[in-house]
Structure formats: C-alpha cells, structure tokens
Amino acid sequence: MSTRIVTVSELKVKLGALMAELEEQGVPLYITQYGKPKAVLARYDEYEALLKKLEDLEDLMAMKESLSAPEKEAISLKDYERRRAARVRG
C-alpha cells in the first residue's frame, strides 16, 4: 500500500480535495505536525474493517489461551465481551 503524508497545515487548507482523493484512491493520509506523526485519516469503511479484524483477533487469542489452560474456570460469553469492552475503553 502506498503512503501519503500531509502536514496539519496542508490538511487545513486542502481538506476537501484530500477527502476526495482519499475516497477515490483509498490511500490513507498520514498527518504530521512539526515533522512528527500525529494521526491517520482513512476511509470509514476501511477503519471499521480494521476494528472488526482486531476484535476477531482478540477473540481468537482469548480462545487459544482458554484452550491452553483448561484448568482455569470458564467464563460466559457475556462476561468475556464485558471484559473486552473494558479493555478497549481503557
């Protein structure tokens, strides 16, 4: 995947054009400030897909951990989801 780097100043001036470019090309924009990375601007659908993949990976890791230590007490799916949500928030 190619990389597109823009400064905060450029983003302020060209936001509309950069958003159109993002939608058309799908290349995330890496936003820098004072030469340091500060943010990434990606299409919403791609961001949501990344979050879904991350959740799936966390679930797989939790299942693997659970299977490798069967002597531990099992928890309900509801409790697991509650714990995962708490980790994500904070």
pLDDT tens across the length of the chain (90 residues): 678 999 999 999 999 999 999 999 999 999 999 999 999 999 999 999 999 999 999 888 888 877 777 676 777 778 878 887 887 776
Claim to verify: residue 50 and residue 38 sit in the same structural domain: no
Looking at the structure, tell me whether residues 52 and 85 fall in a common domain.
yes
Structural domain total, the chain = 2
User: Do residues 33 and 53 share a domain?
Assistant: no
Residues 31 and 63 occupy one common structural domain: no
Residues 81 and 54 in one domain: yes
Full residue range of the structural domain in which residue 9 is found: 4-42
Q: Based on the domain organization, do 62 and 79 belong to the same domain?
A: yes
Same domain, 33 and 66: no
CB atoms near residue 56 (< 10 Å): 10
The reply to whether 77 and 60 lie within a common domain is yes
Query: What is the model's pLDDT at position 1?
Result: 63
What pLDDT is attached to residue 24? 93
Query: Which amino acid does the sequence have at 2?
Result: S
Q: In this structure, are residues 43 and 22 in contact, taking their beta carbons and an 8 Å threshold?
A: yes
pTM as predicted: 0.64
Say if residue 10 is in the same domain as residue 35: yes
